């Protein structure tokens, strides 16, 4: 039995349709049907029966589905262990990073690491926040830079730095004259913000909903740069963090902090984290890189390295 065929069976069972399953799997309906027929032939049973325009699991299909999940779990656990052994033995660092974090860590951090450790294979890929998390959760990469929060039962999390999320407005905007703003000040304002694949999008949307309104999002971007550009053109407002604002160097833009909560805490934080998987043996290469990044960030904080 091919493990890929189990995946096809699972999708058909979920979608209850050969046609829908084929679209999801990027296969032809004929190809999906052939795999199901081959599974039925291999196990000498009927796995699906047609009810109207739906494919429902038979009793044998239900049995197959139950045991299939166990087989999948064993298979993927084996894959994870084999990949972990390979990466450990081959001295590989496979870094997944959310967009924008390299501004903070600096490209030199990675360049210096590669120069100091030519014996380590180094791979680096950038994606939006949630895509990084999905890939890492699916066992891609062996170390991650991204934005918190995370399940501490699954990952060892090191916070590299935390920033206050602040309102970004043009200096001529009425809100620019305020020393602090509230979440309610966003109501009705044309808002430029990173799209749903970025954690900051959900931080702002959730904060607005907690105050009883939905923000007036007129455009979603794939990064801070376009948001800053549109605010500079007086097209609307946005949100940002200090190190991005400083990097953009736009003299016409103003950052305004949000009001603290009643307990004195700042309401909206953006924390950059480094993650490794908690229940896997980390190779020496990952341990070396992990320590290198921590020392590099400390040197930035101490002023020994400039961004």
Q: Please say whether the beta carbons of 225 and 250 come within 8 A.
A: no
- Can you spell out the DSSP letters for 137-159? HTT--SEEEEES---TTTEEEEE
Give the span between the Cα atoms of 152 and 158, in whole angstroms. Answer: 10
Average pLDDT over residues 61-65: 91
The pLDDT tens digits of the residues spanning 141-159 come to 999 999 987 777 789 999 9
Give the span between the Cα atoms of 154 and 68, in whole angstroms. Answer: 24
Residue 272 host element (H or E): strand 269-277
CB within 8 Å of 215: residues ≥ 6 apart: 186, 187, 189, 191, 193, 204, 205, 208
Handedness of CA 15, 16, 18, 19 (dihedral sign): negative
Domain 91-162+270-302: assigned CATH number: 3.40.190.10
Average pLDDT over residues 242-270: 92
Handedness of CA 141, 147, 151, 155 (dihedral sign): positive
CATH architecture of the domain with residue range 166-267 = 3-Layer(aba) Sandwich (3.40)
Collapse the DSSP code of 258 into the 3-class scheme (helix H, G, I; strand E, B; otherwise coil) and give the result.
Answer: strand
> What interhelical angle do 284-302 and 107-116 show, nearest 10?
130
Domain with CATH 1.10.10.10 in the chain: 3-83
What per-residue confidence (pLDDT) applies to 87? 60
Residue 89 clears pLDDT 70, i.e. is over it = no
Residue 86 clears pLDDT 70, i.e. is over it = no
Closest CA to 184 of 155, 154, 214: 214
Give the span between the Cα atoms of 302 and 13, in whole angstroms. Answer: 57
Domain with CATH 3.40.190.10 in the chain: 91-162+270-302, 166-267
CATH architecture of the domain with residue range 3-83 = Orthogonal Bundle (1.10)
The pLDDT tens digits of the residues spanning 179-233 come to 999 999 999 999 999 999 999 999 999 999 999 999 999 999 988 999 999 999 9
φ/ψ of 257, rounded to 5, equals -70, 155
- Can you spell out the DSSP letters for 170-221? ETTSGGGG-S-B-GGGGTTSEEEEE-TTSHHHHHHHHHHHHTT---EEEEEE
What per-residue confidence (pLDDT) applies to 222? 87
The pLDDT tens digits of the residues spanning 165-185 come to 999 999 999 999 999 999 999
Look-up of token digits 């999905």: 134
The token duo for 72 is 């999948």
φ/ψ of 161, rounded to 5, equals -170, 150
For the purposes of burial, counting CB atoms within 10 Å of the CB of 305, is it exposed (0-12), middle (13-18) or buried (19 or more)?
middle
Residue 238 clears pLDDT 80, i.e. is over it = yes
- pTM (two decimals): 0.69
Average pLDDT over residues 82-111: 85
């Amino acid at each position: 039995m091919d493990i890929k065929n189990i995946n096809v069976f699972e999708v058909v069972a979920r979608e209850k349709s050969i046609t829908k399953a084929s679209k999801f799997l990027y296969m032809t309906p004929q190809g999906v049907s052939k795999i199901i027929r081959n599974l039925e032939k291999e196990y000498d049973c009927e796995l699906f029966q047609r009810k109207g325009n739906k494919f429902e699991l038979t009793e044998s299909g239900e049995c197959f589905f139950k045991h299939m999940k166990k087989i999948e779990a064993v298979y993927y656990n084996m894959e994870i262990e084999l990949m972990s052994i390979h990466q450990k033995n081959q001295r590989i660092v496979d870094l997944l990073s959310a967009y924008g974090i390299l501004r903070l860590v600096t490209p030199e951090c990675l360049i210096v690491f590669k120069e100091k450790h030519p014996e380590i294979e180094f791979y680096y890929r950038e994606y939006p926040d949630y895509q990084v998390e999905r890939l890492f959760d699916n066992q891609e990469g062996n170390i991650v830079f991204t934005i918190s929060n995370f399940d501490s039962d699954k990952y060892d999390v090191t916070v590299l730095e935390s920033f206050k999320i602040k309102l970004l407005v043009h200096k001529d905007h009425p809100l620019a004259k305020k020393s602090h703003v509230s979440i309610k000040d966003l109501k009705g304002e044309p808002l430029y913000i990173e799209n749903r694949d970025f954690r900051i999008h959900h931080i702002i949307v959730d904060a607005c909903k907690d105050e009883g309104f939905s923000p007036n999002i007129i455009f979603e971007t794939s990064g801070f740069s376009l948001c800053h550009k549109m605010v500079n053109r007086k097209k609307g407002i946005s949100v940002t963090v200090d190190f991005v604002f400083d990097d953009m160097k736009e003299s016409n833009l103003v950052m305004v902090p949000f009001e603290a909560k009643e307990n004195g805490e700042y309401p909206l934080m953006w924390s950059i984290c480094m993650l490794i998987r908690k229940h896997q043996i980390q190779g020496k290469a990952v341990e070396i890189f992990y320590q290198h990044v921590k020392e590099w960030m400390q040197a930035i904080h101490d002023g020994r390295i400039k961004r």
